[in-house]
Structure 1
Amino acid sequence: MTHPERSKGSDIETSKTVLESTGKDARRSDQLLTHFPILQGKSAEELETLNRTVLRKLDWQFLPCVTMMLLMSYLDRINVSNARLAGMQSDLHMSDTVWSAGISLFYVGYIISQVPANVLIARGKPSIIFPSLMLVWSAVTICMPALSSGWAFCLCRFLVGFAEGPFVPAVSLLTSSWYTKKESPLRMGIWHAGNIISNVFSSLLAAAILTNMNGIADLRAWQWFILLEGIVSILVAVMAFWFIPNFPNNTSRQWFTEEEAAMAQYRQVVSAGGVLEDDGEVNAWGGVLLAIKDPFTALFSAIHFSLIIAQSFKDFFPSIVDTLGFNEVVTYLIQAPPYVIAYVATLVISWSSGRTLDHCWHIVGPILVSLAGAVLMISTLNTSARYFSLVLLCTGPFVGLNIQISWETTVVPRPRTKRAALIAIANCVSSVSHWFTPYFFLRSQEPRYQTGGGIIIAGCGLSIIFCVVTRWWCIRKNKLLDKVEAETGEVTDWRYAT
């Protein structure tokens, strides 16, 4: 198949750098610039300067803020895992079944709020909604040290989940609305790594607080642990009101000048193959309907569901580490290294994914590593081998989740409400796994956790299968686009990333 010859002038080369795209001719660039009169007439150097300014502001203001918010949200979510080791479960007289029910109820609230809230955020002001949501879940967290029964624990977990539910999908939506498809994987890797680093901080804080603060002010150590995390979370939420933007078309001028806002939109138009963010815009629930009808929603939901199953060990990681037989302080401290390694792996592999625009194999590779870790965990009682298995176990799901989120926002870029609905639906479907996976990690199966290891292996296998199927579907869609080009002679800039 042949395509019309494309211009290679210096202005076009600079435009390629600014827009992080290839194959754009001068006429095409001019056509896109007509949507942004304020940018017309600017030289290639001026456009490049604007591009760097927009990216710098995002990287140094928005990105650190959402990373800190994600870190605190995950800390508030997983703090009960280490609190359990410090006696929270026994103090509240909860059986394993009640404890697992509390873990599961978090995800009931988490699922209920996601789709409507994410669609609302897509048409609203994230700069206000994001910090407000964080204030709500932080307030509930601060109330948890006052608990005295299992049912109260379950209620608080439900409320925290309800407030946190919209957060990760909405941050994914906002990131994909500001960064190009080549920039997104690494940036999503940075803020999504808050999921990983939260486990590092949680273990280090547990070592400091749970072993030294028991009995202070007549509070148990686990009460101090949850209370202090909740207070810090509130401080971060208040700070976020000054650092979270809205979307490129409606963000405050305290963030970007008119020219910078136009460049932010221009970058997104080119990244999406020349389609404006508002092109084909529908009402809120119309976007949900579009997402439901799109086969990609089912495919990415299946991938996300499988990856969460593969990550089901996370809520029980401290308990698994406890079976290695070390003392209390060492048990807390050695939880950190596997997550540090997973953090580095996430950044490196996400950077590679963005550079190559490959997603499938960048997920499959790390998942195979985790599968090997699960097999090793249930196959031996050797302490060193079991600890190494935990390092392998942590790597794959965190990397896979980050790249999967970037993949779905790259493949379905428009309209915004559809993208918001797809992200939320996929996250909702995946969260269903949290209703049943906690029941596979029971203390009666320590130290091997054979059933838990089996469910991790199943999740890894399903993740690989669904990634390959999704890649095949993307290739099929690209072949249809090639066929249309050959028949009509019209060259399109859009292709489905695999």
Structure 2
Amino acid sequence: MPATNDSASIEKQASERDSLPAAPEKLPLSKRVLRVVWDSLDKSPQERKLLVKIDWWILSYVCVAYFIKYLDQTNISQAYVSGMKEDLNLAGNDLNLLTTWWTVGYILGQLPSQIMLSYVRPSIWLPTMELLWSVFVIGMAGAKDVKTMYALRFFVGLFEASAYPGIMTLLGNWYIPTELGKRSCIFQASSSAAQMFSGYLQAALHAGMDGRAGLASWRWLMIFDGIIAVPVCIYGYFAIPDSPTTTKVKWLNEEEKQMTRQRMENVGRAAPRKLTWQTCLDVARGLPVWLFSAAFIAHVLAIRIYSYMNLWLKATGTYSTEAVNIIPTGGYALQIVCTLLMAWTSDAIQMRWPLIITAATVSMTGAIILSVWPASNSGIFAGWYLMFCETGAGALFIAWINEVLSHSEEQRRIVIGVVETLAFTFQAWVPLLIYNTGEAPRFRIGYQMAAMFFAIEILLTLVMAWLWRGRNTKGVDLREEKEKKEAIS
């Protein structure tokens, strides 16, 4: 290479080194402690005020909206043990089939919903889907047979499909890595709170509303769930801020909108661009979509098992209907504690995978205990409750996706949609084989398969942690880094 080119190359390298951001100054211990406690306490007053606003509007909507969605998912199981089984003449695998029809709708709706977010603002799309969802939930109260309930559950799943992936994408657009784990898990914890509340709600309705206006308590449960969703939908039209580069919300001023954009730029979080076929091809060619999908499939199939605890309680014949609904709420309370503990710890250490592995190991222990099926009820209770501990790992998986793919909002949105779709595709049929409710409470192979799925999740998480060990939390596009190095050389 000529000397002039060598000189130009050296000057270019020096220029690029000068343009790189300086290494972050080490924070004093007091600020590091404050960051762990809550990530806005160590920030400037202006950024702290901004985060308070974002948290208030976004988290208040997403948590309440998902609380109601998950209340419905849990209500089916609660209704089954509170009179629906007898009223609709359900038998054998009918409870699983109700979940399967919901899952089919959920599968068909997820990826199209994520694509629609490229053309319709989230502040319009997400609340509208929720409004349609509430109509079909109320409709379930009038079901006269199981076939009608199958159809209604399909549409409930279809319109609910926008919620989880859409909200997780929204959180990834507004929070930086040191904030995202907490918010994702707080959002995830709202589902645990819903499952916990559902038991108390069904117990109260069974005691006070059963037979009112000629309706069984489980029908009142559906009516209540659908009605409370309506004001939340209306709130969503004003609360959801779309993305930092496209937001039109009134609760942020221009200076704050600019600050949100700058925050995302500082961590390498790219602004939305036009969705193209090349983007879809890049997703299909990349490892993240397939590895995250496989791990998330194992996660979803494994945690499904804890939802059958109330079937075991009913099968013992020693608990009242109210007790069967209330006792599992202890597991959901434990789930909330574990989820939030995982959130704070993962943000503090800036890694997601160690917490996922820890939680999966704990729940795998519970599955092994139930595989053995101890002679004492206390041992069986321990097995059930341990399997509640891993649910929060799902939110950490999605937060991890948002960070690994920070360089492309479109790829993040599509990968989250694909991961969710594939996971629930497997959930639509695998539980029919391994968690056949006709075999409850002692599933022939169910507990062993749950332990296996937790083990697969742990293995795949270790593989991903090794593959992306050099990827920083800003989610830098490794292809861009490679191109820069090649240009320098």
TM-score band w.r.t. shorter chain: 0.7 to 0.9
**1: CA distance between counterparts of 2:131 and 2:140?**
15
* 1:352 lines up with 2:345 in the alignment: yes
State the AA in 1 paired with 2:311. Answer: S
Match of 1:265 among 261, 264, 270: 261
**2: CA distance between counterparts of 1:359 and 1:264?**
24
1:69 corresponds to? 65
* 1:104 lines up with 2:100 in the alignment: yes
**2: CA distance between counterparts of 1:132 and 1:330?**
37
Q: CA deviation at 1:402?
A: 1.3
SS in 1 for 2:44: helix
**1: CA distance between counterparts of 2:470 and 2:256?**
37
**Number of aligned residue pairs:** 454
**1: CA distance between counterparts of 2:348 and 2:117?**
30
Residue 309 of structure 1 contacts residue 459 of structure 1 at CA under 8 Å; is this kept in 2? yes
Residue 308 of structure 2 contacts residue 441 of structure 2 at CA under 8 Å; is this kept in 1? no
Between the aligned residues of both structures, percent identity stands at: 23
**2: CA distance between counterparts of 1:224 and 1:286?**
49
2:396 corresponds to? 403
2:280 corresponds to? 288
* 1:156 lines up with 2:152 in the alignment: yes
Q: CA deviation at 1:61?
A: 1.7
Tell me: CA distance 1:118–1:486, structure 2 relative to 1, closer, same or farther (3 Å). closer
SS in 1 for 2:388: helix
Q: CA deviation at 1:241?
A: 2.1
Q: CA deviation at 1:449?
A: 2.5
SS in 1 for 2:299: helix
TM-score with structure 2 length normalisation? 0.86
Tell me: CA distance 1:57–1:368, structure 2 relative to 1, closer, same or farther (3 Å). same
Aligned CA RMSD, in angstroms, stands at 2.9
* 1:393 lines up with 2:374 in the alignment: no
**1: CA distance between counterparts of 2:277 and 2:351?**
31
1:297 corresponds to? 289
**2: CA distance between counterparts of 1:276 and 1:329?**
50
**1: CA distance between counterparts of 2:361 and 2:249?**
46
**1: CA distance between counterparts of 2:52 and 2:141?**
41
Q: CA deviation at 1:366?
A: 0.8
Residue 113 of structure 1 contacts residue 163 of structure 1 at CA under 8 Å; is this kept in 2? yes
**1: CA distance between counterparts of 2:192 and 2:80?**
20
Deviations, residues 385-444 of structure 1 (Å, cap 9, x unaligned)? 211222101001x12111111111110113211110000000001102221243233344
Match of 1:83 among 76, 79, 84: 79
TM-score with structure 1 length normalisation? 0.84
Deviates more, 1:420-429 or 1:74-83: 74-83
* 1:432 lines up with 2:425 in the alignment: yes
SS in 2 for 1:143: helix
Match of 2:378 among 379, 384, 392: 384
**2: CA distance between counterparts of 1:276 and 1:444?**
49
Deviates more, 1:139-148 or 1:235-244: 235-244
Deviations, residues 238-290 of structure 1 (Å, cap 9, x unaligned)? 22222221111111240211111111111111112xx6424xx3435443332
**2: CA distance between counterparts of 1:89 and 1:332?**
15
1:182 corresponds to? 178
Q: CA deviation at 1:361?
A: 1.3
Deviations, residues 13-43 of structure 1 (Å, cap 9, x unaligned)? 89xx9xx99xxxxxxxxxxxxxxxxxxxxxx
Match of 1:321 among 309, 313, 316: 313
User: Gaps (5+ residues) in structure 1?
Assistant: 22-46, 491-498
Alignment of 1:4-43 (within 5 A): none
SS in 2 for 1:242: helix
Tell me: CA distance 1:226–1:271, structure 2 relative to 1, closer, same or farther (3 Å). same
Residue 189 of structure 2 contacts residue 339 of structure 2 at CA under 8 Å; is this kept in 1? yes
Match of 1:463 among 436, 442, 457: 457
2:139 corresponds to? 143
2:3 corresponds to? none
SS in 2 for 1:395: coil
Tell me: CA distance 1:9–1:230, structure 2 relative to 1, closer, same or farther (3 Å). closer
Residue 306 of structure 2 contacts residue 384 of structure 2 at CA under 8 Å; is this kept in 1? no
Match of 2:302 among 292, 305, 310: 310
* 1:207 lines up with 2:228 in the alignment: no
